Structure 1
């Protein structure tokens, strides 16, 4: 009888390890963003500090394990078999959800996912039990679900969004008024007092409050309880004096010290709060199995009221979990992807924006501008001038070859991010509320960004859109987690044979997502966004643009051939895929055009000729991309509307044109890949031959219309393809001519 449940425990243990890896990939953003974004400390040192914090946090997380056992449902209403079904459903769903979000590079909440998965699976099993019992009705669902605690947890998570954003914005605004952007010139006592406040907050809330609920707390409980004010006051005085000594005698940058301590403490708070999300369910399952095994009662008859009792967690299991989390931190490429999203949305400077604006982000930005205008009328002019003086960013005189080393934001903001997030998370942990560390750290970072005027007129609409997308992803997580866990729980309760089937599905989907992520990473490396700011010479402009032209020629060649072949086969699915690839090409060229400002600023010298040349080249590349886009979209629309196939003669003409165009594009690609620019004149001659063939095809179609052509839609599509092909070749040839002239002038 016990065999299937032992196998389920083994599966849960494996799922816990996978969940740790997947979950940390998502949550590393929580405690690494500030330190990495500010470049206060080397990445290697940051990782070492964070690793130590994760280990210490693992020890303090045992009090949070109660949430998985009794926080969402009333265990005494469920039998052992029911509990195992719920836990299996939760772990399977959790891994799938987190892996999908990680692959998309979107930070989501492991707390929200685990809470709503427990809720969804518990509701499903409860409904099945109620339906099988004639004496119960739907209203009895509240006897099964710990709805008061569940509502408290959900409200806490939602409230954390508002509180974290507001507190982060207020603290950052006050900190900037104290420090301004010239924080190096502040008096040492200001740094010492700030250090005293920051480290006191960190040590009290993270270490003292963090120990609450652990086996060690009882030994020091008498020292802490009732002495809160004394401890805080003494700590503030002591740390302020220590900070002053460190600054004056050892010349320590106290902000860097705060960031180091803050990273450790936030990693500790994360581990203490979030470890329950990854291993709480398997540990609860193990406790359930131990209680059931010694009972001698059937699995579907043994009540799990024992889960409501406090059970001490195994410290070695927690440390093993901590070790897995640390290894994942150092090795996960998906973690780096998620970290980049958080830093991009909070960085001080402008650059390539990952998210596209939407109507809601535009409304928010316009409303904020209107409020800002209203405030400027209310406040005295002298006050506005004083505030503005504190937000004036210093001009950093760096060689152009070094400007790429500038951090995303400064030390003051990084320190505030860590202090505020750490305090809020540790308060929730001490109250045994599974607060979402992702919500808190992300919203604190967004609040400090707003207060720090990082979202200017050039970037606000994109940053707000990014925040809306991420928050929308959180709500989507909640809804999806609830529904998916309920479905998985139903399948498992229907027949236990579904467990290995679902585990196989999980394995396949994770493998698939990993491959997609790997391929996507390779594509990103190939994209030539001009985000860098290193030195660019005139020869560098030639090299840079040559790479773009070779890449575009190769891809347009493939896309045009695909459109012609797919159109001849009337293959809607392939045309849809080709159209997506065409869209990617257009987006990348738009990205290049968006980066023109940074490219020109990066030139070795003010060269009007080189700048003009680069802008013209990008313009012609955009013309080429727009032509292939029109051809692809028109072909897809034609087939999607179920219009008649093109005639054999029309397909034959298009395939001949495709062969000649492919020949031309291959030569162009080869010239620019090998930098054989002296051969450009020979390629330009071939343009006229291709134009003649296109003109002949137009004349042939006119003749067909007068004799046997009966489809006006076919004629419209055919003429559109021919004319856009001519425009494509014209743009390409104009580009080559411009390139030849510029190349000769530089020689």
Structure 2
């Protein structure tokens, strides 16, 4: 039986590797978003700097894994078998949960997930032990609830404090330096750089290195005793160095951002390593104790009081963990996806709307607008004008392709560093994820990056991310609770099966994500070229190619959907019909996102071209949208009809409609070929005539169906005749939309760039 436990320990370490890869994908946003968003350096160079910080942080950590050993449960009340059950349940849940969030581009807290998974698994086993002992062992004895409550408190504190501090500090900095900060840096570079470097180094000492392997208790005590002197010396020394560097034409903001990135990466690896390998290492320690002392007692009876002792992780584990984290950081597409989510939400310019809108988001923006209107009324005009002059975004100094300037990036890192250091010194469990994200939101708000057009989307995005954090706690607890129960009662069979399920989910998720990421990367490359190009003619050429490719894609989708959906409906295949319908909502959402990108690109073309093309562009895109919405208007009543088991489409109706649907598909194919192989010298006259003739044929069928319906004495076919009329009407409308689409595309494509 013992060899099965050895297999579980090995599997825990395998999951730990996966957990590191998934976890680093999630937490990369903590230390990379500011540098990436401000384009401070090439992404490759940023990865190298962050990798150095991650490797040093992991290697220098002394491996204090107490939260996984006795932070949530009291190990002296649990047997070896019970703790292994909890730990395996935690790791299976953790990998699946983090992978699910990262695949959707949502940052979440690895600390919260670990704590609540441990809590869920512990509650499950504690409940069983409480029942088995007739209440002799209470929940209060077996569970350390204080730790979980402190984490929840830390969540709310970090969200509120970080957002408010981010707004206040950014407002002060921007008021002093403005968006055109270079002239003022001539005199203030030293002071600003000194404050920033002092904050970062202080953060590194307090948060990043306090638990490092070379930091003795005496060294920590000395630093604590002489903190004031160290801070003063740091400030004076760094201020002088920064001012000299500025006089030597060195970009000190770049230095600050890179230093902040390194320190945050180092502290992240050193302090959050427990979130990834703490549970497997605790399991390994438990196995060492059991194999040495508990074989004679048995796994079900040997209590794990040894886990009350502090852990001392072998250096080889720390080095291997650091190397794995570096590999994950350098190769993970999901890390870039999560970073892009936060950068999009803090973008100084217009960017892709990732989250859309929500009723709550709209309401919050309405309240904020009302407050802003009131504040504007009570503020003297001269004060308003002066403040507006300090926040002139037209003067912003942005690196090509940057989402925001390096001044804001520096503020993001400095404020995040200070708040995390403050939380550590006060022993508040602030999460690096919470702090860095909400600081970035606060600074972007103060920089007036949230205009009326994007405010609802940004607020909805914030709510989605923050809701994800809180949802993490609930889901982590519930899922781990259930898995722990199943593993306890199902023993090794359940453990093996659930572990295989976890592996299957991870593999499937990665395959799907890589496929989706490849498609997005292709579209994003063209969009990035359009948004970064300074040549209006090049933008117009790229945009025409993008519109052509997008239109062909949508016409092919409409053709395939129409074919499959009609077949599913006529054959009364509800499962097939639902499967088709489920793809439609995503297709409409994707097309909306593409159209928004194209509108942003159109604004970057020559004004003359933009004016000429604008009308035809909107007509073309609107008619493409209407084709998709017509499919939706056909699909919804058809699905409802089959779900209610109403009468099928009569045979005579199906036979007369078959050639009509085939003819429509032929028109779609011709329209697709016309767009795909567009010839500026050709005209679509013949095709539009065919479509007009087709519309008349469908109109005749509609009239025949009405006459058939009126002549029918049996009312049992009432619903199907009405539905058939809807299908004919929408098919006729789609033909009309197709005709207008071709006309609009022709005029749009003949507009010449300048």
TM-score per shorter chain, which class? over 0.9
What secondary structure sits across from 2:65 in the alignment? Answer: helix
**1:536 deviation in Å?**
5.0
Structure 2 counterpart of 1:342: 342
8 Å CA contact retained: 1:76, 1:305: yes
Q: Kindly report which structure 2 residues correspond to 1:30-45, keeping only aligned pairs within 5 A, or say none.
A: 30-45=30-45
What secondary structure sits across from 1:188 in the alignment? Answer: helix
Q: What per-residue deviation string (whole Å, max 9, x for no partner) do you get for residues 542-579 of structure 1?
A: 54433233222211111111221111122223222322
Q: Kindly report which structure 2 residues correspond to 1:476-487, keeping only aligned pairs within 5 A, or say none.
A: 476-487=471-482
**1:316 deviation in Å?**
1.9
2:724 equivalent among 715, 718, 721: 718
Question: Which piece of structure 1 moves more, 714-723 or 369-378?
Answer: 369-378
**1:51 deviation in Å?**
0.4
2:578 equivalent among 576, 580, 584: 576
1:179 is the counterpart of 2:177? yes
Give structure 2 stretches of 5+ with no counterpart.
Answer: none
**1:202 deviation in Å?**
1.1
8 Å CA contact retained: 2:29, 2:338: yes
Q: Distance in 1 between matches of 2:349 and 2:380?
A: 29
Q: What per-residue deviation string (whole Å, max 9, x for no partner) do you get for residues 565-607 of structure 1?
A: 1111222232223223333333344335544642332223513
Q: Distance in 1 between matches of 2:515 and 2:435?
A: 32
1:101 is the counterpart of 2:91? no
1:430–1:18 Cα change, 3 Å: farther
Q: Distance in 2 between matches of 1:523 and 1:562?
A: 23
Structure 1 counterpart of 2:226: 227
What secondary structure sits across from 2:117 in the alignment? Answer: helix
Structure 2 counterpart of 1:624: 627
Question: Which piece of structure 1 moves more, 188-197 or 338-347?
Answer: 188-197
What secondary structure sits across from 1:603 in the alignment? Answer: coil
Q: Kindly report which structure 2 residues correspond to 1:254-403, keeping only aligned pairs within 5 A, or say none.
A: 254-296=252-294, 297-395=297-395
2:697 equivalent among 687, 693, 699: 693
Question: Which piece of structure 1 moves more, 730-739 or 660-669?
Answer: 730-739
Structure 2 counterpart of 1:400: none
Q: Distance in 1 between matches of 2:233 and 2:586?
A: 59
Q: What per-residue deviation string (whole Å, max 9, x for no partner) do you get for residues 125-165 of structure 1?
A: 1111111112527xx10110112233223322332121221
Q: Distance in 2 between matches of 1:703 and 1:672?
A: 39
1:33–1:7 Cα change, 3 Å: same
**1:539 deviation in Å?**
5.7
Q: What per-residue deviation string (whole Å, max 9, x for no partner) do you get for residues 36-95 of structure 1?
A: 000011111111110011012113433641111111111222122221111111111100
Question: Which piece of structure 1 moves more, 309-318 or 520-529?
Answer: 520-529
Structure 1 counterpart of 2:406: 411
1:515 is the counterpart of 2:511? yes
Q: Distance in 2 between matches of 1:652 and 1:404?
A: 63
**1:451 deviation in Å?**
1.9
Q: Distance in 2 between matches of 1:642 and 1:10?
A: 53
8 Å CA contact retained: 1:274, 1:437: no
**1:339 deviation in Å?**
0.9
Structure 2 counterpart of 1:663: 666
1:742–1:166 Cα change, 3 Å: closer
1:405–1:476 Cα change, 3 Å: same
8 Å CA contact retained: 2:64, 2:311: no
Question: Which piece of structure 1 moves more, 297-306 or 338-347?
Answer: 297-306
**1:427 deviation in Å?**
4.5
Structure 1 counterpart of 2:91: 91
1:504 equivalent among 500, 519, 532: 500
Q: Distance in 1 between matches of 2:702 and 2:574?
A: 25
1:264–1:692 Cα change, 3 Å: same
8 Å CA contact retained: 1:81, 1:299: yes
1:704 is the counterpart of 2:708? yes
What secondary structure sits across from 1:520 in the alignment? Answer: helix
Question: Which piece of structure 1 moves more, 384-393 or 50-59?
Answer: 384-393
8 Å CA contact retained: 2:206, 2:424: no
Q: Distance in 2 between matches of 1:745 and 1:458?
A: 28
Give the number of equivalent residue pairs: 739
**1:431 deviation in Å?**
6.7
What secondary structure sits across from 1:311 in the alignment? Answer: coil
Q: Distance in 1 between matches of 2:395 and 2:241?
A: 32
What secondary structure sits across from 1:40 in the alignment? Answer: coil
Q: Distance in 2 between matches of 1:496 and 1:426?
A: 44
**1:727 deviation in Å?**
1.3
1:7 is the counterpart of 2:12? no
Q: What per-residue deviation string (whole Å, max 9, x for no partner) do you get for residues 589-643 of structure 1?
A: 4335544642332223513322222222223222322222212223223223332
8 Å CA contact retained: 1:623, 1:728: yes
Give structure 1 stretches of 5+ with no counterpart.
Answer: 398-402
1:11–1:707 Cα change, 3 Å: same
**1:541 deviation in Å?**
5.8
Structure 1 counterpart of 2:460: 465
Structure 1 counterpart of 2:564: 562
Structure 2 counterpart of 1:27: 27
Structure 1 counterpart of 2:246: 247
1:168–1:404 Cα change, 3 Å: closer
Structure 2 counterpart of 1:590: 592
**1:526 deviation in Å?**
6.5
Q: Distance in 2 between matches of 1:640 and 1:368?
A: 44
Question: Which piece of structure 1 moves more, 356-365 or 720-729?
Answer: 356-365
8 Å CA contact retained: 1:273, 1:434: no
1:452 is the counterpart of 2:454? no
